[in-house]
Amino acid sequence: MPLIIKDEYPEKLFREDGKRLDGRDKHELRPIKMEVGVLENADGSAYLEWGNNKIYAAVYGPREVHPHHLAKPDRGILRVFYRMATFSVFDRKRPAPGRREKEISMVITDCLEPVLFLELYPGTSFEVFINVMDADGGTRCACTTVAALALADAGVPMKSLVTAVAMGKIDGELITDLSGIEDKAGEADLPCAMTWFNEELSLLQFDGKMDLEEFSKCLTLGKEALTKIHEIQLDTLKKKYIEIQEELKGGENEQ
Ligand code: CDP
């Protein structure tokens, strides 16, 4: 990919051979790698590499709410802290959380809340700290996906996992999983998240222009992409439990 300096975007987002600038087909996902239990000091944690995005999520809870006035007597609360490292983007990002980080934290909270049984944990909080170490488009979706995995790793009872992906449109074509440059220079960006217990969307944002038919096609293609990502989440969790099972078996054999 050519070096992009500041706001200089390429004129075309498809190459001569019809592929996207990073070599992908229109509906191909970037490579995705997930791992759980990566942080020693958290109740649950997960790491996600999604294309050039590199993200950690740490979960604590249920635990006492600080500050106390945020506690709810009849239910638990979910607090999400989305942060981007100063070195995670081309321009140095100011270290203090900005308006965008607060908005994305709120968006991720709304995506995850429907799968939790918060009514069973009055007066307590679940906290999810998400740190984007390297950012390249679709971080709200990647963070939602890795946060759900970290909650599951913490053993928090959940109705299902939550998975998110950004659909979009570039140079007149619908595409799956926008990269940073496609997000900035493209025509439309449509991040969506699915809660699997009811197969409903818990996030649907839209920025740009497309007609209703394209919008509907994006949702259909989005579901296909979400299904693939959900399978990777499930495989990642299963891998952890298979490893624990094997360790236990090994221990029994030694006795
Ligand atoms: O990351 P997401 O697409 O969910 O949110 P966005 O606000 O649409 O940002 C799109 C991309 O712009 C991010 O993923 C980063 O790669 C980049 N970005 C940046 O370069 N500098 C910032 N201060 C914020 C975002």
Query: Atom 16, ligand 1: which residue's CA is nearest?
Result: 136
183 CA to centre of ligand 1 in angstroms: 8
Any ligand 1 atom below 6 A from CB of 89: yes
88 CA to centre of ligand 1 in angstroms: 10
Residues 193 and 219: their CA atoms lie apart, in Å, by 10
> Strands 162-170 and 32-36: what pairing?
unpaired
Type of residue at 234:
L
Continuous segment of H or E residues that includes residue 82: strand 77-84
Any ligand 1 atom below 6 A from CB of 136: yes
- CATH number of the CATH domain containing 172: 3.30.230.70
140 CA to centre of ligand 1 in angstroms: 9
Number of independent structural domains in the chain: 1
Classify residue 20: in a domain, yes or no: no
Residues 185 and 249: their CA atoms lie apart, in Å, by 53
Residue with tokens 């222009």: 209
Strand partners, 83: 131
138 CA closest ligand 1 atom index: 3
Residues 109 and 140: their CA atoms lie apart, in Å, by 11
CB of 143 closer than 8 Å to CB of 55: yes
pLDDT tens digit sequence for 212-236: 999 999 999 999 999 999 999 999 9
pLDDT of residue 224: 98
pLDDT of residue 5: 55
Residues 59 and 37: their CA atoms lie apart, in Å, by 10
Is residue 191 scored above 70 in pLDDT? yes
Classify residue 196: in a domain, yes or no: yes
Q: Which domain holds residue 101?
A: 32-246
Q: 3-state SS of the chain: helix, strand, coil percent to 5?
A: 35, 30, 35
Classify residue 90: in a domain, yes or no: yes
Classify residue 149: in a domain, yes or no: yes
Classify residue 87: in a domain, yes or no: yes
Residue with tokens 């595409």: 175
Classify residue 214: in a domain, yes or no: yes
Query: Atom 20, ligand 1: which residue's CA is nearest?
Result: 89
99 CA to centre of ligand 1 in angstroms: 13
pLDDT tens digit sequence for 100-152: 999 999 999 999 999 999 999 999 999 999 999 999 999 999 999 999 999 99
244 CA to centre of ligand 1 in angstroms: 37
Q: What is the DSSP letter of 107?
A: H
139 CA to centre of ligand 1 in angstroms: 7
22 CA to centre of ligand 1 in angstroms: 17
Classify residue 17: in a domain, yes or no: no
93 CA closest ligand 1 atom index: 23
Classify residue 252: in a domain, yes or no: no
Query: Atom 7, ligand 1: which residue's CA is nearest?
Result: 100
Overall size of the chain counted in residues: 255
Type of residue at 162:
V
- The CA–CA distances, whole Å, from 147 to 67, 123, 185 equal 22, 22, 28
Quote the pTM value.
Answer: 0.95
List all residues 6 or more positions away from 82 whose beta carbon is below 8 Å from its beta carbon: 101, 104, 105, 108, 130, 132, 139, 140, 143
pLDDT tens digit sequence for 28-67: 999 999 999 999 999 999 999 999 999 999 999 999 999 9
Pocket test for ligand 1, best of 132, 183, 206 (most atoms within 8 A of CB): 183
- Beta-carbon-side half-sphere exposure of residue 143 (alpha carbons within 13 Å): 30
